[in-house]
Structure 1
Amino acid sequence: MASRSPTELLTSLGPDVPNQPPHSTPMSSTSGNGDSRTPPNTVQAACLACRGKHLKCDGNTPCGRCQIHETECIYVASRRGYKGPRRNPPNPGKRPASDSPPSANGDTCSLIASVTRPMATAPSVSTFNPAVVVAESPATPFTASGVNGLQLYRSQYLNGGGALVGPDTQPQQTIPERCLNSFYYYFYPGHPSVLPKEHLLKMAKEKDLAHLLAAMRWVGSLYIDVGPARATYFEEAMRLVYAQDVVRDGYLVQAMVILLIGLDGSCQQEKAREILSHVERIAIEIGLYTRAFATLHGGGVPRVEESWRRTWWDLFVVDGMVAGVHRQTNFLLFDIVADNIPRPMYLEDFDDQVFSGEEREFSSFAYRVASIRNLGRMMRLPNNGFPSEENVSRIESLLSNWRMHLPPTKIDSLNKDCQLDEMMFQAHMINHACSIILHQPLSQLDSSPARDVTACAPHRAVQSGDNFNIHTRHIIKAACEISKMVTYNVPITSHTHFFTCVLTLSSIVHLSKWALYFIHDEDDLRQQVRLNIGALNKLSNVWKAANTASGQVRGVAQEIYRAKKAQQTNPQFWVGFTQEEIISSMAADEGIMSEINTMLTSAP
């Protein structure tokens, strides 16, 4: 399907956002150059900020450029051209080597670029701000995903004795502070688009970001007990994002994306889709998907420019997830041709890496975007309700290629230190969900036993067959891989709430197979069901949608158990099985149902 222009997509969205003012003048960009009338000073070394952007530095402490952008001004000795200690004394008449090393940043975007250069070639962004932890790129202004963003952010809460201190246990905090810390502690690793906390609060002193902060506090309040303040923050956020005088800019997009994610996880899916439609229009109108947007509105600060790029791609991922798991929207943003990845890396370089001959490892954020793009390609298949074998094979090639060409460090969702990489977790999660959505219509696994599991999407009727065909094997494999993701030794609530619906997809497959007939590996299957129910039960402490899904999955599991117990009274049911197998199966059934009943009574 040919990509539509942004104008055509805006037209397809229908009328403009209600109670919104006309398109506002974009935020003026801040020049990073000094006064052109003053000749540049000759300095022995440039500060790290100027050096990283290949800009002249006046040598002051702090320099003029760092004063303008309010960044920490640090000078270090250059090591460009250094080849170890010299054997002979230096020549006094020889011109010293330049103090400006080549930048590892350049225009490289940490969304796509990988780390192939040593740290010595460019200053780490953590040099400018120790609170910002860099994972995969020395110049990445965000916590990237090659290292566990959640654990790294949480490391800021370590007290002197080394114990982990969460946002709800820090002393002398107001409720707004607790909610904001909770946002960064729990929610931010899964959707890292807003500025890091320190920089956002500094920006809030210069700009009106009340709507964004209110949205962040509301989502943060979902993870902790703050009483009536939760409703207050939500009402404030909704009032501010729809205010008549609100500026239609990237900060408004960030606030609305946070709100729609929280609403979707709180079982207010219709309201979430309404906000999604509005934020899609705003993002297209302001050109958030273009390379120029980050440049014009970044003020010459790489960290801010990166925030705008991630804002677009996080909205892109959320749009795809809502469309894929709820089957109520059509992934509108998939048809936008975005070019906001700066040189030298483009998404085309990611797609063509096998043919270019370059051995390059891309960022986890890039693999996450690539995974959701495969979902978009699947949704653009003709006759999406019942695709042809040829089209299914074409999309399966994309899904399989995505998995097979992952570098060793991205094969699972843990990094080399066995810490969670949330961006890769979501990338794998999306890939497995795509496999189920793609193959389920052509599988031969009767889905009617799980017809009451509708928390995320309407029931999809699938007719049963005599044998397990290749499509059935695909969905069973994907469902088991999703259940395996529960076993990572991290808090389940640290994942994006969309994991709820992916778990529900997996549970539908497990329950359909369990209801089919007695199989010899039935105990393994029952363990998968237990894992999913347990994970949904944990997620329900935060997300109402998980509570609904957990109740539905448990209810269907109990129905299947009762039906199988009734079948077991028929002697013909056990033909071909030994007495030991019969006793083992009955004991396993009793065990799983006992635990499911316990979960049911202890659920919040």
Structure 2
Amino acid sequence: MTRQDAGTLATVLQQQALPSPPNTTTQAQSITTQAQPSSLLSQWFQDSGTNLEAETSAPETIPSLHHVPQQSPSGPIILPVGPTPSPQSDQLAPWADDEQLVNLYYLNFHSSHPILLPRSWYWKNQYPRYLKAVVQLIGGHFCPTASRDSLRERVEQELDHVGQETPERVQAQLLYAVYLFAQHHSRQGQQVLDSAIESALNLGMHRQEFAAAHAGSLTVLEESMRRTWYELYVTDGCVAALQRKSTFKTNTVTARVLLPCDDIIYEDGMCFMPATLDDFHDNVFADEEHVFSSFCYRIEAVRLLGRVLTITGTQGVHRDLVQAADNALAAFIHHLPRSKSEAEIVSTFGEVDELMFQTHTIIQYSTILLHFPRGDLVSLDPLSQHVPGANNTKLLCPCNRQHVHSIKAIEASKTISMLAALRAPVQRHSPFFVYPLALAAVVQLAIGAIHAKSLSGCLEQHSDKIKLMLGVLKTMGRHWAAAESVLRVVKKMACAVFRDGRRAAESSPALRRDEAMDNCVDVCPQILPHGEWLDTVHVLQLSELMGHDNAWLGDYVSHFS
């Protein structure tokens, strides 16, 4: 379908239904209007056997999503007849929509986690109160006048009164889990995420037929259901990497859900012909390259992350497994279409493709997780060994290729810093960007510590990268507590690396810096012997935030205490 045809189809659909304004008092009765198929649509689908009346019907108000598919013992999914019981809303305070918070949600958060219906459809859809509460809670974190505590209390109250497992409940819990991790409430976030995954599996959302059975003929709702399952998969994988698990639940499930479409198609409500996982994986060997949606490449990046996690932090891993994972990560980058490459994720209008931004970040994050523990950046030298993960080096890679692992980890950290340097609204990045950014900072601190000792002239380059990462964390910290926590820890580690290194450089005429260096973030150089700088660094806290195994690190810190 060409972009011109897509635009024409969008015009037809938009003429059939315009978004209704928010109702802050009562919910209006659903009014369904049947539209006649246009000649253009008839011509487009004349050979496809598509039911045009079903595809082009755009109701003024989307039917309630409370009609939850039930699964029979034999497996097929059927829709229940009649309305399902509503939550005990009589026990809750009266509900009032806040259009400003909803708009802030869609402006700053939706593009990174796009599972709900497009903004133009939001007010037409009778989303349940508990899902609306989560939307307004997240939107409230981008509004300085919003009462965040009150919004969170409202979410807790609404979710406590949800008894039945529904797709909307899965969506609400998924978004709330992301929020909790962003606020550094990891334990509760994991519980909410586990509950969302369990409900999704019970509903059968991992089955290919679920989306169509639940949505009827409304293709935009089908797409929302598909996106919800894959967003569970992505979130589960990112959390597993954060906590350094060897696997994650959704990665062990056989799911054949059709792949999400591009956001521009989703926004126009024209998700007619979704691709399959087989289509995506077979594309590498096809004669003609097919460009898939950014969401698809993001899913594949998490799948590769899962492969890395299975061999991360494990002793005795055969080098062939490490090489195979490395090959897969490198091949992914080479096979990306030009339009999805790192250089193309910013449009000519300056808009960032947030899903491809995440995709590239996840690939580089996976590369660091794979190579940094196996490299030789952190040795037994007191000047450079105080970085989380140092003691794993010789255990994980008893070979003579440690310098190669280090180079790959350094290059991956550089790429993450380049992504962080994009001139884009930082608050629109996923909160999960905090953790790859923190790990990239650790790699830069490791190489910076080595260069501080050798009085290398490139120390300032590492300092600039760290200051960039600190700046991004500072901006994200205005909205998410996890970023603020990581910022404090990375600052203290950076001080231990660059401050003393700067003093050493100033004592050398050849490497003396400009006075402007005094205006920089007071972050670190030459590591003091016997781990003196470690006394002021919450290295265990940073290690935990990034998912490092603290068992060895606790012994390591106690050794210098």
TM value normalised by structure 2 = 0.71
Answering whether residue 354 of structure 2 is matched by residue 422 of structure 1, we say yes
CA distance in 2, matches of 1:540, 1:499: 12
Query: Counterpart amino acid of 2:157?
Result: R
- Say whether the 8 Å CA contact 1:504–1:549 is kept in structure 2: yes
1:133-152 → structure 2 map (5 Å cutoff)? none
Q: Is the aligned partner of 1:200 residue 2:122? A: yes
Structure 2 counterpart of 1:392, one-letter code: V
Q: Which amino acid aligns with 1:200?
A: Y
Q: 1:539 aligns with which of 465, 468, 476?
A: 476
How far is 1:75 from its partner?
5.6
Residues 444-502 of structure 1, C-alpha deviation per residue, up to 9 Å, x if partnerless?
1118889998xxxx866445999961100111001010011122111111110111111
Partner SS, residue 155 of structure 2: helix
- 1:358 is matched with which residue? 288
Q: d(CA) in 2 for partners of 1:226 and 1:397? A: 49
Runs of 4+ in 1 over 4 A off after TM superposition: 74-77, 103-107, 125-130, 447-453, 462-468, 565-569, 586-589
* Contact 1:450 1:556 (C-alpha < 8 Å) held by counterparts: no
Aligned to 1:145: none
Q: Once the two structures are superposed, what CA deviation does each residue of 1:162-213 show, in whole Å capped at 9, x if it has no partner?
A: xxxxxxxxxxxx8822211111111101000011234333221xx6x01100
Which of 181, 197, 213 does residue 132 from structure 2 map onto?
213
State the match for 1:181 in structure 2.
103
- Evaluate the alpha carbon distance shift between residue 239 and residue 554 of structure 1 in structure 2; reply closer, same or farther with a 3 A threshold: same
1:411 and 2:341 matched: yes
Q: 1:468 to 1:396 in 2, by over 3 A?
A: closer
| Equivalent pair of 1:475/1:509 in contact (CA under 8 Å) | yes
Show CA shifts across 1:390-431 (max 9, x none). Answer: 211110111111100111111122235542111100100100
Partner of 2:501: 564
Alignment partners' CA distance in 1, 2:210 and 2:113 = 20
2:219 to 302, 316, 320: 302
**Aligned match of 1:512:** 446
C-alpha distance in 1 between matches for 2:373 and 2:286: 36
Paired residues of 2:35 and 2:56 also in contact (CA < 8 A): no
Please give the per-residue CA displacement for 1:375-395, whole angstroms capped at 9, x wherever unaligned: 112223386366432211110
The answer to whether the aligner puts 1:324 opposite 2:254 as a matched pair is no
Identify the residue that residue 481 of structure 1 maps to in structure 2: 415
Q: Tell me how far apart the structure 2 counterparts of residues 588 and 251 of structure 1 sit (CA, whole Å).
A: 54
Q: State the partner residue of 1:233.
A: 151
| Amino acid across the alignment from 1:530 | K
In structure 2, relative to structure 1, the CA distance for the partners of 1:595 and 1:241 (3 Å cut) is same
SS of residue in 2 equivalent to 1:357: coil
User: Structure 2 stretches of 5 or more lacking a match?
Assistant: 1-7, 18-28, 61-95, 260-272, 525-561
Q: Indicate the residue corresponding to 2:327 in structure 1.
A: 397
**Mean CA deviation greater in 555-564 or 274-283:** 555-564
Which amino acid counterpart does residue 210 of structure 1 have in structure 2?
A: R
Looking at structure 2, the residues matched to 546 and 463 of structure 1 have their Cα atoms a distance apart, in angstroms, of 28
Moved more, 269-278 or 353-362: 353-362
1:277-336 CA distances to partner (integer Å, 9 max, x unpaired)?
A: 111111111111111110111121000000000000011101111111232583211111
**Sequence identity percentage:** 25
Structure 1 CA distance, aligned partners of 2:390 and 2:180?
24
Kept in 1: contact 2:184–2:482 (CA 8 A): yes
Give, as a single letter, the amino acid of the residue that structure 2 aligns with 1:354.
Answer: V
Normalized per residue, the structure richer in helix is 2
Instruction: State whether residues 505 and 512 of structure 2, in contact with CA within 8 Å, keep that contact through their aligned partners in structure 1.
Output: no
Which of these residues, 435, 460, 477, is aligned with residue 367 of structure 2?
435
Inter-partner Cα distance in structure 1 for 2:142 and 2:485: 17
Match of 1:100 in 2: 43
Q: Secondary structure at the match of 1:291?
A: coil
Q: Is the 8 A contact 2:492 2:523 kept in 1?
A: no
Which amino acid in structure 1 is aligned with residue 45 of structure 2? P
> Is 1:554 the equivalent of 2:481?
no
Amino acid at match of 1:475: A
- CA deviation map 1:21-67 (0-9, x unaligned): xxxxxxxxxxxxxxxxxxxxxxxxxx979x99xxxxxxxx99xxxx9
Aligned residues: 442
* Structure 1 residue 593, shift from structure 2 partner: 3.8
**Shift in CA distance, 404/340, structure 1 to aligned 2, threshold 3 Å:** same
> Superposition pairs for residues 24-423 of structure 1, below 5 Å?
70=32, 73=35, 76-78=38-40, 99-102=42-45, 176-204=98-126, 209-228=128-147, 230-243=148-161, 245-327=162-244, 330-341=247-258, 345-381=275-311, 384=314, 387-412=317-342, 413-415=345-347, 417-423=349-355
In 2 relative to 1, CA 128–588 (structure 1 residues): closer, same or farther, beyond 3 Å? farther
Query: Which structure exhibits the higher relative contact order, with contacts defined as CA atoms closer than 8 Å and separated by 6 or more residues?
Result: 1
**Structure 1: runs of 5 or more not aligned:** 1-46, 53-60, 81-98, 108-121, 131-173, 597-604
Checking the alignment, whether the CA contact within 8 Å between 2:308 and 2:369 is kept in structure 1 is: no
* Pair 1:401–1:278, CA change in 2 (3 A): same
| Rg larger for | 1
RMSD: 3.7
Shift of residue 232 of structure 1? 2.2
CA shift, 1:234, in A, is 1.3
1:494 to 428, 448, 457: 428
Q: Is the 8 A contact 1:440 1:472 kept in 2?
A: yes
**Contact 1:561-1:589 at 8 Å conserved across structures:** no
Instruction: Measure, in 2, the Cα distance between the counterparts of 1:392 and 1:340.
Output: 29
The residue that corresponds to 1:592 in the other structure is 520
